A and B are shown apart, each in its own frame.
Chain A
Amino acid sequence: MYDIENYYNAETIKEAVTLLKEHPEARIISGGSDVLIKIREGKLAGTSLVCIRDIKELKGIIKMDSGDIYIGAGTTFSHITSDPVIQENIPVLGEAVDQVGGPQIRNIGTIGGNICNGAVSADSAPALFSLNAMIRTADGSGGRTVPIHDFYLGPGKVDVKPGELVTHILIPEKEYTGYHGHYIKYSMRRAMDIATLGCCVVSRINPSANILEDIRITFGVAAPVPLRCVKTEEALKGSPVNEKLYQAIEDKVREEIHPRDSWRASREFRLQIGGEIARRALERTVELAAGGERK
């Protein structure tokens, strides 16, 4: 039995914004796979909820005329994974969210909820960071567009103001065209688990010159918020693709990430794994660029 004080259901974005303004104490709920857990744990016990699950405008994926990809915040993980636009243009995102929890969670959990929950372990976050995603909000008076790098403010804290709602995510055309991405979730189990460490590498390779032209490396669970390894990226750009490059990403990433030492995993352990999964993710993007089959 969940301890919920009041429950308001919105059917349009406008209604949701109005409800949120009328009930500033209420939390937004969509799939509920994070919110209900917090209610059960007691952290949000007795809360009121504004439910946005029935809002049709929040669902769906479109490749717009500009080439940018629009992802409704209320789109579930399983819809993202099976969507042809995602599969064709940014398969790394579909693969990443296919590693969330189990099938039931992926059928109910949404990408908007995943990032608004602010958890550093969110499986969608490293891919969205490496794709330079833009977050779009509504607040009844125009809303805002925030780059995902600025959206995460701290552990469990994101840039959503009272009375505001995330409506969709945009992946600009220039951020994915010519790029290949791979996400490695390192967890203790192959399902029903959160990442001990996650790494998404998105790279652009010049095949004729065998040069790494651009790279974006993002870690989940290596810092209080998802972490772009900017220094490593700068150092690697323009490098020839060879064993030296792979050793360099491994070493430099270990210098740049600063994971926690906790009972879940020690810092030394996460550093070892971090370097190794960054290397393996980059190797995989190189294979993909060379025409390797997606698994």
Chain B
Amino acid sequence: MIGKSVPRVDAYEKVTGRAKFTDDMVPPGCLVAKVYHAAIGNGIVKSIDTSEAEALEGVVKVVTFKDVPDHCYPTPGHPWSVEPAHQDVADRNILTGRIRYYGDDIAAVVAEDERTAVRALKLIKVEYEEYPVEIHPRKSMYGSHPPIHFDKKDNVLNRTNFFIGNVDEGLEQSDTVVKRSYKTSMVQHCHLENPVSFAYMEKDRIVVVTSTQIPHIVRRVIGQALGIPWGRVRVIKPYIGGGFGNKQDVLYEPLNAFLTMQVGGRPVKLELTREETFCNTRTRHAIEYDLTAGVDKEGRLLAKDMEAYSNQGAYASHGHAIAANGLTAWRLQYACPNIRGEAYTIYTNTPVGGAMRAYGIPEAAFAIECFMDDIAAEIHMDPLEFRRKNLIRGYYEDAYLKPIAANSNGIFQCLEKGAEYIRWEEKRKEYAAQTGNIRRGVGVALFCYKTGVWPISLEIAGARMSLNQDGSVQLQLGATEIGQGADTVFTQMAAETLHLEMKDIHIVTVQDTDVTPFDTGAYASRQSFITGTAVKQCAEQLRDKILAYAKTLLPKEETRELSLDHGWILAGDEEAISLGALAQECYYSLTNSSVITAEVSTQVKKNTIATGCCFAEVEVDLKLGQIKILHIINVHDSGRLLNPQLAEMQVHGGMSMGMGYGLSEQLILDEKTGRPLNGNLLDYKLMTALDTPDMEAEFVELNDPVGPYGNKALGEPPAIPGAPAIRNAVLHATGVAFNEIPLTPQRLIKAFTEAGLIGKEGEQHV
């Protein structure tokens, strides 16, 4: 079953609209909550008057920052740590009177309907005392009065560094030293379904139904935020309309849990608008990089140095883990004897940076892969040749975080496939000396990516199986389907190990923390690897129990080996008893009934590196500042593919995000207030179908020795290499090196004018 493009197990439900999402499950008579957001970027609430809002007919309750628990709690979707030093930064209150960014949450209204709730918000009166707003990390890190969070006087949330060899000596020995700075923009996930939840009480417990990637973590954080025992919280996760990391964070669930307690346990729904999703949930960090590298005459890297400054925004969320992940990437993939890296994560008065597909690597890979092209240009070497010269072939491991390693490494094969598709050699030559307004170019970028979070954080997954009366198998997991196809590949895994058909495995798609096995959820491209390990172990356990029971039913088969095959128990190679008949016996035997179940909770202490690349061919219209992607291909080494069609779908989605990241997406903030100026889907230029070229997805299928089914990370990596590949193609086409994304028409026109490619002086070039 592994390796087959079987249809998604949820395809029919989703296509017919029968699949239940959070909003489909809202009970009748559910109250509606709306949040009152700050209209300043930094300061405190001097006074708040909610009397008029409370008096409005249909308003049930108004709560403010004065009513919520005064302790802070952490929000990121990380496994909790029992060691206080490794616990996430707790810097949030459910509502706050200390405003740290434009839109911070001050109060909330619960009303009979949405219209009343919105009208009530307008009746709340707030007076502020304003502090200066700082949205730039490299200014904010010199401190502010008062600091954004009282315990971080210099606004630096965290700073880490590492050293391998001696970079200064390495640079001195180099024939060429290159220094460049790169900058990425703040972008948003733009999942189709905005964050939504509803909460109610049962007995003295709180139930929250929510669109999340991490139900078990949401349960823990609600408990922490409210200061109540975690067992009193039950979180249910139905189908969700995308998450991309934004829902790998605890967003408004604690507030919603608090609100239902304030209205006697009545159900309360809290659904964000798209504008709130942009401003008040999470973003991908904008990071600034200063890179230095030295190479010898042959173009071999002798030393390299990275400094990174990550804009955290107003609250810690995933915090420094993002920039730190970029530091790790700086150590991997390219051979270099002397490496140094340092990263700062800095609080500012902007929307909050959190997890977003590929967790710090799209940012770092943009800087690194632009830099590789810029070094190659500096020494007049073909950028693909330069990479081949410096890439590590075969096995390598991280110098610091063991056991992170490239247990399989298909990067050279990936590059070969990509170069052939884009006709690299031919086009690099063909486009070398162009004139005229239309210019073409080809570019490449690559990446490597870990599978899961071990050893930085805990990896644990749970699986439960039970044999049904008809010989089919019930499969229950704490890992979540978030659109990526998890339910389908887990079903394939169970079918593979149990030698059953897809139709014989019934996966429970809804996670309910009261009954679902513990698993930390969908992130870090971990589930098919970590949860996959649990599924495999659980299926093996169930198989062993089935065979043990079969022995009791088949006493005469003592001399022959029993095995499971396509719904039959084989004795030797003969069908001895059907699985269905065995299941009937185990349920209903008057002498020997014992229902066969298996359950595992597995810790995984492995991590393996996936890799791949993107090749792009672009056409640039200089005078209109427009880039057209003519051809684009991602080639991935993600180990053995579990489901090639689903894998291709993953790659297409990621490529689309990569192109948007490179060309058009950025959350633009007002300098004075930090308010998002384009926090809506009209002004935030997410690509449409018409903007999207045909996308090619290819794979190099090496069997990874540590993956449960030879597989390794694929969920996030497709989003990584697109932006730098496009940028490098534009460099090839025009000779202009853009060091900041996105490559908007305005940036293009400005740079082309400065380069003399357009404008009056440019005419002679045309």
Q: Do A and B bind each other?
A: yes
Given contacts A188-B745, A191-B690, A263-B677, contact A1 B685 (CB under 8 A): no
A189, CB-defined interface residue at 8 Å? yes
In whole Å, how far is A206's beta carbon from the nearest beta carbon of chain B?
Answer: 29
Q: Is the CB of B677 within 8 A of A276?
A: no
B681 and chain A: residue at smallest CB distance: A192
Kindly state the separation between the CA atoms of A178 and B100 in the bound complex, as whole angstroms.
63
Number of B interface residues in the complex (CB < 8 A): 31
Given contacts A189-B664, A263-B668, contact A194 B746 (CB under 8 A): no
Number of A interface residues in the complex (CB < 8 A): 24
Kindly state the separation between the CA atoms of A74 and B689 in the bound complex, as whole angstroms.
29
Interface locus among A22-30, A130-138, A158-166, A266-274 = A266-274
B506, CB-defined interface residue at 8 Å? no
Given contacts A3-B115, A272-B758, A276-B624, contact A189 B683 (CB under 8 A): no
Kindly state the separation between the CA atoms of A192 and B114 in the bound complex, as whole angstroms.
27
Q: Is the CB of B688 within 8 A of A189?
A: yes
Kindly state the separation between the CA atoms of A270 and B625 in the bound complex, as whole angstroms.
11
A269 and chain B: residue at smallest CB distance: B746
Kindly state the separation between the CA atoms of A292 and B79 in the bound complex, as whole angstroms.
65
Kindly state the separation between the CA atoms of A191 and B677 in the bound complex, as whole angstroms.
21
Q: Is the CB of B746 within 8 A of A266?
A: yes
Q: Mark A94-115, 1 if CB is under 8 A from B, else 0.
A: 0000000010000000000000
Q: Mark B99-136, 1 if CB is under 8 A from A, else 0.
A: 00000000000000111001100100000000000000
Contacts of A1 in B (CB 8 A): 113-115
**Interface residues of A, dominant DSSP:** loop
In whole Å, how far is B485's beta carbon from the nearest beta carbon of chain A?
Answer: 27
Given contacts A269-B625, A272-B758, contact A192 B750 (CB under 8 A): no
A64, CB-defined interface residue at 8 Å? no
A3 and chain B: residue at smallest CB distance: B115
Contacts of A246 in B (CB 8 A): none
Contacts of A234 in B (CB 8 A): none
Contacts of B208 in A (CB 8 A): none
Interface centre among B114, B677, B681, B690 (most CB of A within 10 A): B690
B689 and chain A: residue at smallest CB distance: A191
Q: Is the CB of B749 within 8 A of A3?
A: no
Q: Mark B678-715, 1 if CB is under 8 A from A, else 0.
A: 10011101011111000000000000000000000000
Q: Is the CB of A3 within 8 A of B624?
A: no
Interface centre among A42, A189, A191 (most CB of B within 10 A): A189
Q: Which positions 720-766 of chain B face chain A at CB distance < 8 Å?
A: 744-746, 749-750, 753, 758-759
In whole Å, how far is A279's beta carbon from the nearest beta carbon of chain B?
Answer: 9
Given contacts A3-B115, A273-B624, contact A193 B746 (CB under 8 A): no
A264, CB-defined interface residue at 8 Å? yes
B61, CB-defined interface residue at 8 Å? no
B428, CB-defined interface residue at 8 Å? no
Kindly state the separation between the CA atoms of A276 and B113 in the bound complex, as whole angstroms.
51
Contacts of A273 in B (CB 8 A): 624-625, 745, 749
Kindly state the separation between the CA atoms of A72 and B623 in the bound complex, as whole angstroms.
39
Contacts of B115 in A (CB 8 A): 1, 3
Kindly state the separation between the CA atoms of A265 and B670 in the bound complex, as whole angstroms.
14
Contacts of A46 in B (CB 8 A): 119
Given contacts A1-B114, A1-B115, A276-B623, contact A188 B685 (CB under 8 A): yes
Q: Is the CB of B624 within 8 A of A186?
A: yes
Given contacts A1-B114, A3-B115, A273-B625, contact A190 B746 (CB under 8 A): no
Kindly state the separation between the CA atoms of A140 and B746 in the bound complex, as whole angstroms.
49
In whole Å, how far is A289's beta carbon from the nearest beta carbon of chain B?
Answer: 23
Contacts of B750 in A (CB 8 A): 268-269
Given contacts A188-B745, A190-B688, A191-B688, contact A272 B683 (CB under 8 A): no
Candidates A45, A190, A263, A269; contact of B745 at CB < 8 Å: A269
Contacts of B685 in A (CB 8 A): 188-189, 193
Kindly state the separation between the CA atoms of A265 and B690 in the bound complex, as whole angstroms.
22
Contacts of A194 in B (CB 8 A): 682
In whole Å, how far is B747's beta carbon from the nearest beta carbon of chain A?
Answer: 9
Kindly state the separation between the CA atoms of A272 and B758 in the bound complex, as whole angstroms.
9
Other A-B pairs beyond A1-B113, A191-B691, 7, CB < 8 Å: A189-B687, A193-B682, A263-B668, A263-B677, A268-B749, A272-B753, A272-B759
Chain B contacts to A: CB under 8 angstroms: 113-115, 118-119, 122, 623-625, 664, 668, 670, 677-678, 681-683, 685, 687-691, 744-746, 749-750, 753, 758-759
Q: Name 30 interchain pairs, CB-CB below 8 A, sorted by A.
A: A1-B113, A1-B114, A1-B115, A3-B115, A42-B118, A45-B118, A46-B119, A188-B664, A188-B744, A189-B685, A189-B687, A189-B688, A189-B690, A190-B688, A191-B688, A194-B682, A263-B668, A263-B677, A263-B678, A264-B683, A265-B746, A266-B746, A268-B749, A268-B750, A269-B745, A269-B749, A272-B753, A273-B624, A276-B623, A277-B624
Sorted nearest first, the 4 A-B pairs with minimum C-beta distance are: A190-B690, A1-B114, A191-B690, A191-B688
